[in-house]
Structure 1
Amino acid sequence: MYDIFDDEIDEMYENKGKAGIKLGKGISPKDPLESLTQEKFIVLNEQATLQEAIINIQKYPIGCVLLENNQYISGIFTERDIVQKIVGKRYNLDEECIANYMTKNPDVLHLQDPIAFALNKMISGGYRHIPIVDENKIPIGVIAMQDIINSLGDYFFDDIVNLPPTPLRDQTQREGG
């Protein structure tokens, strides 16, 4: 007897193992943020210009710059800030101070805080980057939503890679009750 899912199952088995094996370290929402791989981060003085911030965001694919005043975090400036506050306006980027456009006093976390806490703050706050500070409140990094997604993607690599790029057929009716 022919099962309607035989084609998809056959395709999945044909592609199995073609992408190579990548073993990721398992992460749990209870694990500390230090268990995630962190990208580089940029810290600028809050008196820097918009031009300096935008150049750094373009140069390094990190999505944000941290802003400091006397070594302490005073704000964060992200790609979203550029789109919502800068694009389409006729600002002189070399003269405008970033302090006027940054998100002031952002939530911060410590490396020992759990991943779940970072996710909760990101989802409830509607942002994708959280500065990480040490016990003296000096910036030591940034955790991005993408860092968490990448770690999950590494751990579930085989499950994700072995999926067909698109299902062979669309579901036409709802399953179950």
Structure 2
Amino acid sequence: MTQRTVYQSMPRRLLVSLPPGASVHEAACVMTRANCGSVLVVGAGTQLLGIVTERDLMTRVVAKAVDPSKTTLASVMTPNPRCIGPNTKVEDAVLIMLERGFRHLPVVGEGNTLLGVFSARDAMPREIGAAVSLAEFNEQVNDSLG
């Protein structure tokens, strides 16, 4: 069975993005309308500056009782997020997510062109299972070396 790439697995390639000065409230509204769990924070010329996820909204805004209408994305985003290329195998992307605690990875193509976001929910159960097995193997190897 051939392995899918992240670009093949992304059901929609809608680029959900906002500038760093946009409010957290705006981001939540855009994410709700697009039915997605993250928004890319972009500067001039669609330069990727950061990412804001549902988890960021919960831990950096709601849990801290921060006013979403007065808080900018720049103040709550994860700057310089880890990115992957469109030809990255889904299994490899899921492994990165497992090892680093991510649920979303920006997908960047030629010339740093933003193509979208790969989400954990874009992976099939068999791809997740393969990545989990590899993560467990890596952990065992690291434990035996350490």
- What interval of TM-score do these two structures reach, taking the shorter chain for normalisation? 0.7 to 0.9
Determine whether 1:37 maps to 2:19: no
TM-superposition CA deviations, 1:37-65 (whole Å, max 9, x none)? 33333011112111111111222211110
Pairwise mapping of residues 16-165 of structure 1 onto structure 2 (< 5 A)? 28=3, 31-39=4-12, 40-70=14-44, 71-149=46-124
Find the aligned partners of 1:136 and 1:151 in 2 and give their Cα distance: 32
Q: Distance in 2 between matches of 1:56 and 1:132?
A: 19
Work out the CA distance in 1 between the residues paired with 2:11 and 2:25. 25
Quick check: which one's helix share is greater?
2
Cα offset, 1:27, TM superposition: 5.2
RMSD between aligned residues: 2.1
User: Which ranges of structure 1 fall in alignment gaps of 5 or more residues?
Assistant: 1-25, 153-177
Question: Structure 2 unaligned runs (5+)?
Answer: 128-146
1:97-136 C-alpha deviation (Å, 9 max, x unpaired): 1111011111111111222221111111101110011211
Structure possessing the higher radius of gyration over alpha carbons: 1
Q: Is the 8 A contact 1:75 1:104 kept in 2?
A: yes
8 Å contact from structure 1 (residues 67, 74) kept in 2: yes
Give TM-score scaled by structure 2 length: 0.76
1: CA distance, partners of 2:101 / 2:87: 22
1:150, 1:44 → 2: CA distance? 31
Does structure 1 retain, via aligned residues, the 8 Å contact 2:61–2:67?
no
Q: TM-score, normalised by structure 1?
A: 0.64
Q: Secondary structure, in 3 states, of the residue corresponding to 1:59?
A: helix
- 1:27–1:78 Cα change, 3 Å: farther
